[in-house]
Amino acid sequence: MEAYLLEFGNMLLRWLHVIAAVAWIGESIYFVMLDNGLKSPRAAEDKQKGVFGEMWAVHGGGFYHNQKYATAPAKLPDDLHWSFWKAYTTWLSGFALFALLYLASPSIYLINPSSSWEWAANMTGWQANVAAVLFLLLGWVIYNELCKRISPNMERDGVLSIAVAVMMVVVSYISVHLFAGRAAFLLTGAVMATAMSANVFFWIIPGQRRMVKAMKAGETPNPIDGKRGKQRSVHNTYFTLPVVLLMLSNHYSFMYTHAYSWVIMALFIFAGALIRQFFVLMHQGNIRPAYPAAGVALILVAVWVAAPSSPPEASASANIETNGSAAMSSANGDVDIAQVQSIMTDRCVQCHAKNPSHAGFAAAPAGIILDSERHTTIQAQMVKQVVASGYMPLGNITKITDEERATIAAWEPEPL
């Protein structure tokens, strides 16, 4: 019952998280489009009022006329529309979801038992949880320090973008060594997403509040607040596409179980930013196909890097008898389904059954049931892939042996 309620809570949080993120990113993309698509005001009186640009649009059966002021209108209305709750809701629901799933079961989802950093592979659940939270926190602190030190007055924003790009490669590299692949992709996305929300919380909104306060007091707002808000909001724009991809990546184990998964991750981060750049420029009327072409080229490199090397090789030890249950054969590829099923029974059905016995699971994860020879044969290709890549059993919690992995690699399922 408890596991069921947790899974239900997980689903509701995910629903909220996706809705909030769609609303936030949608609004953010809309405002970047608006800002870049502004044209000089046509009416002389608008220019006199201090209007710097305008956009006429038609949407949902109505006509809209947006105007942007160079600094501010002579008088600010009291009912200004502010955008921040969407950003905060996205972060809060995302963190709650992360806590419910990953922090609640670190030994299944967070720890990477095959990390080449031995101390990371041997972390306890608590250590892994602390490491994950610190990872997010440090990600923000370092990004924020880079912004403050390299381009405090927005004078070296180009150098800053290079520094942030290098930082993301380092984050990708560290994350796959510290955490299980699925968590590593999620946490790298979360480092960017946390920077995005924290940019809104610590810089953009407070800056806007200071500007409004100054204007209401009849003073000129400090232009640095506007410029800094813009700097951080530009970063947010380039983070959006990569973040969405990294958040979705946990459906695609071929990406994060690869030995060079950090390279794949970095390639996608750059591809996302390049593709976003195309749209930013396009709204300024500047069509530059080289950007998406470069993005697609990076994705093709990722396709090449992520390609499975060769079908998993069965070693001689594949024929060592497991559990004494199977008819043995000496030739590779002649593994009996009964042998495979006995491995499933020992290492997989704790989770992959209609009613899992492993704590925390209310139903078969990913809908994969492996409790009978027939079920296992139906899922054969996926079973072979996830066992060969080391993705399953999650966190190797059921301690599958290399011999057993080799047996499954050597298994050639009979057609059903």
What's the token pair of residue 361? Answer: 């699971």
Kindly state the smallest distance separating residue 23's Cβ from ligand HEC, in Å. Answer: 25
Identity of the residue, 261 or 379, whose beta carbon is nearer to ligand HEC in the bound complex: 379
CA dihedral (29, 31, 35, 38) positive or negative: positive
Kindly state the smallest distance separating residue 325's Cβ from ligand HEC, in Å. Answer: 16
**201-210 contacts, C-beta under 8 A, 24 or more apart:** 201/84, 201/87, 201/88, 202/144, 203/228, 203/229, 203/232, 204/229, 204/232, 204/233, 205/82, 205/84, 208/82
Contact 87, 201 (CB under 8 A): yes
Kindly state the smallest distance separating residue 416's Cβ from ligand HEC, in Å. Answer: 17
Identity of the residue, 302 or 349, whose beta carbon is nearer to ligand HEC in the bound complex: 349
Identity of the residue, 206 or 365, whose beta carbon is nearer to ligand HEC in the bound complex: 365
Q: How many CB atoms lie within 10 A of CB 14?
A: 16
First to last CA, the chain: 36
Kindly state the smallest distance separating residue 242's Cβ from ligand HEC, in Å. Answer: 20
Kindly state the smallest distance separating residue 384's Cβ from ligand HEC, in Å. Answer: 8
**346-351 contacts, C-beta under 8 A, 24 or more apart:** 346/322, 346/398, 346/400, 346/404, 347/393, 347/398, 347/399, 347/400, 347/404, 348/392, 348/393, 348/398, 350/398, 351/393, 351/394
Identity of the residue, 274 or 386, whose beta carbon is nearer to ligand HEC in the bound complex: 386
Kindly state the smallest distance separating residue 133's Cβ from ligand HEC, in Å. Answer: 22
Identity of the residue, 233 or 257, whose beta carbon is nearer to ligand HEC in the bound complex: 257
Is the bond into 393 cis (omega within 30 degrees of 0)?
yes
Whole-angstrom distance, CA of residue 15 vs CA of residue 74: 42
Whole-angstrom distance, CA of residue 312 vs CA of residue 290: 38
If we measure between CA atoms, which residue out of 197, 161, 181 comes closest to residue 265? 181
What's the token pair of residue 320? Answer: 């060592």
Kindly state the smallest distance separating residue 364's Cβ from ligand HEC, in Å. Answer: 8
Close Cβ partners of 278 (under 8 Å, ≥ 6 residues apart): 288, 289, 291, 292, 295
Kindly state the smallest distance separating residue 104's Cβ from ligand HEC, in Å. Answer: 12
CA 320 to chain centre: 41
Identity of the residue, 28 or 253, whose beta carbon is nearer to ligand HEC in the bound complex: 253
Kindly state the smallest distance separating residue 340's Cβ from ligand HEC, in Å. Answer: 9
Conformation bin of residue 219: beta by default, left when phi > 0, alpha when psi is -120 to 50: beta
Kindly state the smallest distance separating residue 155's Cβ from ligand HEC, in Å. Answer: 45
CA dihedral (259, 262, 268, 274) positive or negative: negative
Identity of the residue, 106 or 393, whose beta carbon is nearer to ligand HEC in the bound complex: 393
Kindly state the smallest distance separating residue 268's Cβ from ligand HEC, in Å. Answer: 18
Identity of the residue, 15 or 85, whose beta carbon is nearer to ligand HEC in the bound complex: 15
Identity of the residue, 231 or 407, whose beta carbon is nearer to ligand HEC in the bound complex: 407
Residues in the chain: 416
Identity of the residue, 317 or 350, whose beta carbon is nearer to ligand HEC in the bound complex: 350
Whole-angstrom distance, CA of residue 249 vs CA of residue 235: 22
Using CB under 6 A as the criterion, which residues of the chain lie in contact with ligand HEC when the complex forms? Answer: 108, 250, 253, 347-348, 350-352, 358, 365-366, 368, 370, 379, 382-383, 386-387, 392-394, 397-398, 400
What's the token pair of residue 17? Answer: 């998280």
Identity of the residue, 315 or 350, whose beta carbon is nearer to ligand HEC in the bound complex: 350
